[in-house]
Every structure is written in structure tokens, then in C-alpha cells.
Amino acid sequence: MTTPVTKPDDSAEPKTELNRMIGPGLLLLFIVGDILGTGIYALTGQVAAEVGGVVWLPFLIAFAVALVTACSYLELVTKYPQAAGAALYTHKAFGVHFLTFIVAFAVMSSGITSASTASRAFASNFTAATGFDFGAYGVTGVALFFIAAVALINFRGVGESVKMNVLLTVVELTGLFIIIGIGFWAIGNGQGDVSRVWTFEPAGDHGVIWSVVAATTLAFFAMVGFEDSVNMAEECKQPSRIFPKVLLGGLVITGVIYILVAISAITLVSAADLGEGETPLLKVVQAGAPNFPISIFGVITMFAVANSALINMMMASRLIYGMSREGVLPASLGKVHKARRTPYIAIGFTTLLAVGLITFAGGVKELGGTTALLLLGVFALVNVAVLVLRKDKVGHKHFRTPTFLPVVGTASCLFLVGPWTGREPVQYTIAAILLAIGVVLWFATVRFMKSQEQTA
């Protein structure tokens, strides 16, 4: 399916002010840690509520869609190993400032919305683990405190951020392996109901096919995250060489883990029970291992969703930095701290936006669905950009995906964006509001840049 690549001439790759310290191992943990987390820990129950026992099927379909689009990202990140990701590719392919800005804003919004989802899930699991009821304002306060801590780690440097990601990824993998272990131990001892794995229980009157489609739009949130890694390209060692194997390997690892977790969960807990509340995997632990300290697993879950927030905020700040360097955003947003060598203005800007979303946004399902909606639209554009940029040649060898894959990726992403999927209207509303803010900011940015030119 893919064309092998050889080690490129490193001197042909763009120079950067950022610190190149991420090798294959750290990049793999970054990708696995980003994909794992809030989606599987918080949305498994919502997926089960849509389709019943075949909760694993939407995750499998979402994995296939993500894999196709990941191949398009691989061609572009190895061809243009720079920060900014999808916005950079859109800029190079179409050269329309407005479109580039909106794509950048949509990706940034998806990252911050994802971080907000993680913050809410963090607060819910904190409440479950400690037994304290902080109320609505208290939960928001915990989430805001958490985002501030993420910003400080991000500012300290990519080394500190990636090291924290390694720790949190190990913790969240441990939590998922506990779920898998409990599930298969219970199956081996005749507990649970394995027959549920093959049982369709469509939600409402949607029918089997459309219930699976609706569930896939939710499950897709659990598969996003691979696209964040391309925004770290300027902090990777030899990005054109290491990305293909690492990114594809990370997707396969997470896909297998998701399916095993889904099978374990539905074997021990009915779809109806899984669909209630925002802590579905805690119910699996209680059902399969009632003597396991639930507070310990609650802490593991908190660490897992914390990792999602950390990585998404890293991605968002690097995207802002990259687009500032491309001249799409004001140059001040691309400033790098002399001592820490991190884009500190971009970190502050994205953190302020996260504070606003955490304070005023909806619940986990709405935010997660909106994140997937925004990214599916962006993914469709990236798949098109691959084909448009085939005419652009670069001075080093890079990954090349078969032509039919971007075509399939565009069609599948556009299909999952549509209202026929059963997506809740509130997700379109949130996305529309965010994009409207983006349009306003675009006009403000254009005016600001023109005023800067006049005073120069």
C-alpha cells in the first residue's frame, strides 16, 4: 500500500529555531498517548448506547478511516517536515489566506475542544475517585487549575512535555491493560456474557446500519490524535525518515487496544449500563474485579485524560507558531522564548482560548463529537491537498501514498461530516460558533497585519 522511503539528506530539510530532541521512541509514545485517552475512557459507553454489544465495530471502522487519512498526512509531513500540519498543507496547496486561516483555526479549536473534553472527564473521574461532590463551579475550577498546570509544563520545554507524556502514556496504557486483563480473566472463569459481543441493539428507530454510522462518528474522536504529531515535526530528529513507521505503528497499536477494551467492557457490563454517565470503564472494573480499589483506577483514568489535554495543547501552540512563521498569523505569535526555546506567546494564546471553552462549553459527548466533526472536515481537505501538491517537488525523498487512498479518504470523511449520520445538532452549533469566531479573527488579523505594514 505504501512506497518505502530511504533516509533523506538531513540538510535538505528546513532549519528550525525549535529544539530537535524527539526520536522514534518518544514520537511513538507521543502518538500512542495522544490517540489513547479521553475517547476510549469517556466515550465507550456512548458508543455502546448507539449500537449495543457490537461496540467494537464502530472503533474498527473509525480505525480504518483514520488509517487512510494518516497515509495522506505521512506523505505531506515527510515532504514538508515543518510545524503547522494541515494548515501548512492547505496553504501550500491552495494559497488562499482565508482558507488557510480557517483550517488553522479549526484544527486549533479541535485541539482545545479536545483538551476541554479531557478536562471535564478529568473532573468527573476526580469526583468518582475521591467521593467529593464539588458541584458545577467546583468542577470548572478543577479543570481550569489543570489547564494552567498543562500550560506551565508546555512552557518549560518540549523535553519536559514529552517526558511528562511518557509518564502519562505508561499510566493510561496500564489502565487499559487492567481493563483487558479483567475482561479476559472474567471470560476465562465463565463470568460475564460473551454473547453480547455479537449483539446489535440499535438506538431508537435508526436501524443497524445508521446506528453503526452514528456510533462511528463518536468513536472517531477516540482515533484522532495522530494528526497532532505532524505539528511536532520541527522538534523531531530526521522527521522524513522516522514518521512513516512510527505513525502507522502507533495507529495499529491503539486500534488493537481499543477493540480488546471494547470486548472486555461489553462482556462484563451491559450496553445500557455502559451508556450511563461519563465513567464507563470504572463500571467495568467494579463488575469484573469488585475488590480492586476503585480509587486507584479513578486516578489512572485522570492521568489518561490529562495526557490528552497536554498533547492537544502542545499541538495547538505549535500550530499557531508554525502559521505565524508562514505569515498567516501575526509574527508576534511566533516568538520563541530565548531560554526555554518554546513558543511562549502561542502557548499563552491557546491557553486563554482553552479557559474560555472550559468555562462555557458543554459535556463530554458534545465536545468530543464537535472535535471529530471539525477534524473530519480538515481531513477531507488534507486528502485533497495531497493530490494537488503532487506537482510540487522537494529536494529529499519522502513517503508517497497510493493515489486511490486520498480519494477514499476524502469521500469517507465528507460522508461522516453529514447530518445523515445521526450526529446531534448541538455539535454543528458549537462548530459553527467556533468557525464564526474564526472568521471574525481573520478580519481582525488582516487589519492588524495591514496596519503593521503601514507603520513599518
Residue 228: which of 247, 249, 204 has the closest Cα?
247
**Given pLDDT bands bounded at 50, 70 and 90, which one contains residue 398?**
confident
Residue 293 has pLDDT above 90, yes or no: no
**What is the CATH number for 85?**
1.20.1740.10
| Whole-structure pTM value | 0.79
Q: What pLDDT is attached to residue 184?
A: 87
By residue range, what is the domain housing residue 293?
20-455
| pLDDT(101) > 90 | no
The total domain count for the chain is 1
Predicted pLDDT of residue 7:
42
pLDDT band at 123 (very low <50, low <70, confident <90, very high): confident
Query: Average pLDDT, stretch 33-47?
Result: 79
Grid coordinates representing 338 are 530565548
Check: CB of residue 192 under 8 Å from CB of residue 186.
Answer: yes
Work out the average pLDDT over 288-314: 80
What pLDDT shows up at residue 237? 79
Residue 84 · residue 327 · CB < 8 Å: no
Cβ pair 28, 250 in contact under 8 A: yes
pLDDT digits (tens, 9 = 90+) for 315-325: 788 778 877 77
Is pLDDT above 50 for 4? no
- Residue with more model confidence, 390 or 360: 390
Task: Determine the average pLDDT of the residues in 5-29.
Answer: 62
Question: 218 in the Ramachandran plot: left (φ > 0), alpha (ψ -120 to 50) or beta?
Answer: alpha
Asked if the structure places residue 2 within a domain, the reply is no
Confidence of residue 9 (pLDDT cuts 50, 70, 90): very low
Q: Is residue 394, in this structure, part of any structural domain at all?
A: yes
Q: Is residue 13 part of a domain?
A: no
**Does the pLDDT value for residue 138 go beyond 60?**
yes
Query: What local confidence, expressed as pLDDT, does residue 3 receive?
Result: 46
Residue 236, strand partner residues: 22
Mean pLDDT of the 341-356 span: 86
Residue 12 lies in a domain: no
The mean pLDDT value for 337-357 works out to 84
> Is 4 part of a structural domain of the chain?
no
Q: 401 near 248, Cβ under 8 Å?
A: no
pLDDT digits (tens, 9 = 90+) for 360-378: 765 666 777 888 899 999 9
Least confident of 44-58, 90-104, 170-184, 434-448: 434-448
What confidence score (pLDDT) does residue 376 get?
Answer: 93
pLDDT: which is higher, 404 or 26: 404
pLDDT for position 71: 93
Secondary structure of the chain in HEC code, one letter for each residue = CCECCCCCCHHHCCCCCCCCCECHHHHHHHHHHHHCCHHHHHHHHHHHHHHECCCHHHHHHHHHHHHHHHHHHHHHHHHCCCCCHHHHHHHHHHCCHHHHHHHHHHHHHHHHHHHHHHHHHHHHHHHHHHCCCCHHHHHHHHHHHHHHHHHHHHHHCHHHHHHHHHHHHHHHHHHHHHHHHHHHHHHHCCCCCHHHHHCECCCCCCHHHHHHHHHHHHHHHHHCCHHHHHHHHHHECCHHHHHHHHHHHHHHHHHHHHHHHHHHHHHHCCHHHHCCCCCHHHHHHHHHCCCCCHHHHHHHHHHHHHHHHHHHHHHHHHHHHHHHHCCCCCHHHHCCCCCCCCCHHHHHHHHHHHHHHHHHCCCHHHHHHHHHHHHHHHHHHHHHHHHHHHHCCCCCCCCECCCHHHHHHHHHHHHHHCHHHCCCHHHHHHHHHHHHHHHHHHHHHHHHHHHHHHHC
Average pLDDT over residues 92-104: 88
Is residue 7 included in any domain, yes or no?
A: no
pLDDT computed for residue 169 by the predictor: 80
Instruction: Give the chain's end-to-end CA distance (angstroms, integer).
Output: 51
Mean pLDDT of the region 149-161: 77
Q: Is the pLDDT of residue 308 over 80?
A: no
pLDDT in tens, 194-227: 889 998 887 766 678 888 998 898 888 888 878 8
282 HSE (CA, 13 A, CB side): 22
Residue 17: is its pLDDT beyond 70?
Answer: no
Question: What's the confidence (pLDDT) of residue 1?
Answer: 45
| pLDDT confidence of residue 83 | 66
Closest alpha carbon to 195 in 121, 266, 285, 99? 266
Average pLDDT of the residues in 396-400: 86
DSSP collapsed to 3 states, 327-373: CCCCHHHHCCCCCCCCCHHHHHHHHHHHHHHHHHCCCHHHHHHHHHH
Report the greatest alpha carbon distance in the chain: 76
Pick the more confident residue, 142 or 263. Answer: 263
- Which comes out higher in pLDDT, residue 250 or 312? 250
Please check whether residue 9 lies inside any domain of the structure.
no
In percent, the amount of the chain with pLDDT more than 70 equals: 86
Determine the pLDDT at residue 341: 80
Residue 385 has pLDDT above 90, yes or no: yes
- Predicted pLDDT of residue 180: 93
Is 331 a residue whose pLDDT tops 80? no
Cβ-count burial of 226 within 10 angstroms (0-12 exposed, 13-18 middle, 19+ buried)? Answer: buried
Q: CA 438 to CA 444: how far, in whole Å? A: 10
Q: Supply the pLDDT for residue 82.
A: 77
Asked if the structure places residue 10 within a domain, the reply is no
Q: For 337, phi and psi rounded to 5 degrees? A: -65, 130
What average pLDDT score do residues 59-79 get?
A: 92
Instruction: Judge whether residue 11 has pLDDT over 60.
Output: no
